[in-house]
Amino acid sequence: MLRLLTGSMLVLGAVCASAAPRGFTAEDLVALDRVSSPVLSPDGTQVVFALRVADVAANKAVTSLWMQAVDGQSPARRLTGAASSAVAAQFSPDGRSLYFLSPRSGSMQLWRLPLQGGEAQQVTRYPLDVGGYQLSPDGRSIAFNLEVFNDCADLACTVKRLSDRAEAKTTGVLYEKLFVRHWDTWADGRRNQLFVAALGADGTATAEPLKVSREIDGDVPSKPFGGSEDYTWAPDGKSLVFAVRIAGNSEPWSTNFDLYRVPSDASSAPANLTADNPAWDSGPVFRADGKALYYMAMKHPGFEADRFGLMEKNLVTGATREIAPNWDYSAGGITLSADGKYIYTGTSDLGQHPIHRIEIASGKSQRLPGTGQVEGFALGRDALVFTRSSLTSPAQLFAARTDGSKERVLARFNEAALKDVAMGAYEQFEFAGWNDETVRGYVVKPWNYAAGGKYPVAFIIHGGPQGSMGDSFHYRWNPQTYAGMGFAVVFIDFHGSTGYGQKFTDSISGDWGGKPLEDLQKGWAAALSKYAYLDGEHACALGASYGGYMINWIAGNWNQPWKCLVNHDGVFDTRSMGYSTEELWFSEWENGGTVFAVPQNYEKFNPANHVADWRVPMLVVQGDRDYRIPVEQGLSTFTALQRRGIPSQLLYFPDENHWVLKPQNSIQWHHAVNDWLKRWTSNANK
């Protein structure tokens, strides 16, 4: 693939004459280049970003690092090659070097690239993968996480134990407590732990690092999605703060993450800074003078979708305050302004995902301008650089002033690849949902829309359930893939969705089949009334995770409108789910307790109890490595359909988890789903 650098615009793909317009396809989706993770140089003049390029034929992707001037006056230049990925870029404090993680040496290690010229040098040579890292403020040390056996005195011990297991003639594993499996991995006894290593005069790290998270029975950072944002250096480099949930026996049903402070020389054990909060504390960031710590905190133990409030802890007096208690949004991280007066954070907001700026002293908040979804950003003294997508555009790289004004495009991606693609236009609408409260949704026109036409509909139900499907470019459930085959698309942010106030989000707990179903029904009616081009007689409903649960629920409780259904990794039996899912806090919070304590709660909205009323053809999709909603849920759904004599298919992925990630599998998934929709909405079924 040719890369042309033209002025301030990075154009990907060979340029050729424009072809006749066409719809967006699954092949287009998986082949798109993806920009992410902007990082600003210390002087704010350069931005480094990651660019993921898929090799669909090889069924893999490689991420490289690029650098561009923030003023847009010089083109982007590639910093790392295409042979192996480079991720997690960080500038050295003096801005003369760029650090990054790469598996180019055979395992994931830290590398340093001199920006004035020269080849990248390997910084760490550990026998285990480096999972994440943070440079110390003076650039002379690194904090990083490795996965080790906690009772091992050195790294060699972990390596030997893994080797011994691999060579053993027995395969049985004996467990004494839960989290025997999590997300898509079975537990092997290792924990993520936090280490510190000094960087020598030659730039390489000490051979045997110092474990500073000693005496901590938990993962630093958390599994499976925690990262280096879970720990941070104090400004003087003498200590670190990290977030961790102490495991014990309650780990699978606890959301009690606390912040611990530890000397960087491990001269004393980590000390708990947030023991008074039994809920989730996360995302620590020091004030520049080191005397205060900013972080995010929830208030309700066991509730993973609780609101993350912004907190300030005085490290001298120990006093804690919430910075913006009346700001009814959930923070998505903390980035401090250069002058230390503001916190910048991304959050869901009425079907968008913008940046909010909160004044620390007063708690006054400001939503920065722009629509769509900000997926990542970096902040300097004079500039804000960010990636943002929308329902009609994959993420692009932008720059603006720190108040969001004077926005401009720094680099635009995939223009050549999408030059002949006509995206479906979209519009947000609102209606009176449950209890006559305002609910919002989106409608997307088919790519070939013509006034007066009627188009079949894909009605997509988002997962979470505390999530949102809004103005963003999704790489699994992308409305444009349906619009691209001539379907209109409708999706609703029902009660329980995020971005509409915490009360709205909370309202779904204990009521999975109640308020959300009413919102979906009223939203469907509102869309049909407002948009005459929707062919309500030829529509299919689709969803994954909670959306898959809802597909099973409406199969027995609202099946009248639908020609077909698609259920991806959806809950079939809420009672069985309560005993087989890995993160028990989720099921137990949503149902008000354990299965054995409140069995009636699990049965109230249990799709398994309504199979006798199923009648609509359903495609079931299930990944075998999905431990969130285990494979038996999908198999049970398919069994129920087959025994009822309902036309049905099962698409089973032995190598996928709760998502479908491999490029070729994604294409197969889309073709199976699209074929199912077309089969049941075609003229033969009208």
What residues act catalytically? 545, 626, 658
d(CA 348, CA 566): 26
Secondary structure letter of residue 325 according to DSSP: T
d(CA 348, CA 352): 6
User: H/E/C letters for each residue in 156-222?
Assistant: HHHHHHHHHHHHCCCCCCCCCCCCCEECCEECCCEEEEEEEEEECCCCCECCCCEECCCCCCCCCCC
d(CA 534, CA 281): 45
3-state secondary structure of 485: coil
- φ/ψ of 57, rounded to 5, equals -60, -40
The distance from CA 656 to its chain's CA centroid, rounded to whole angstroms, is: 17
* Cα three-residue angle 442-482-58, rounded to 5 degrees: 125
Q: How many C-beta atoms surround the C-beta of residue 681 within 10 A?
A: 24
d(CA 659, CA 560): 29
> Could you give the count of Cα atoms lying within 13 Å of 491 in the half-sphere of its Cβ?
28
Nearest to 578 by CA among 613, 614, 605, 552: 605
3-state secondary structure of 12: strand
Q: How many C-beta atoms surround the C-beta of residue 77 within 10 A?
A: 11
CA-based torsion, 390, 395, 396, 399: positive or negative: positive
Nearest to 283 by CA among 263, 259, 254, 307: 259
Q: List, as one string, the DSSP characters of 562-592.
A: EEEEEEES--S-HHHHHHH-S-HHHHHHHTT
d(CA 99, CA 91): 6
d(CA 101, CA 88): 6
Residues 6 or more apart from 273 whose CB is under 8 A from it? 241, 258, 259, 260, 261, 293, 313
Secondary structure letter of residue 118 according to DSSP: S
CB of 28 within 8 A of CB of 417? yes
Nearest to 257 by CA among 202, 304, 215: 304
Helix axes 515-530, 546-557, angle to 10 degrees: 80
Q: Where does residue 514 rank: exposed (0-12), middle (13-18), buried (19+ CB within 10 A)?
A: middle
d(CA 145, CA 240): 13
The distance from CA 609 to its chain's CA centroid, rounded to whole angstroms, is: 33
CB of 619 within 8 A of CB of 672? yes
CB of 40 within 8 A of CB of 380? yes
CB of 307 within 8 A of CB of 502? yes
d(CA 109, CA 126): 7
Name the amino acid, one letter, at 497.
Answer: S
**Residue 291, CA distances (Å) to 235, 287, 470 in order:** 9, 7, 39
d(CA 602, CA 474): 31
Give the strand pairing for 393-400 and 384-390: antiparallel
3-state secondary structure of 64: strand
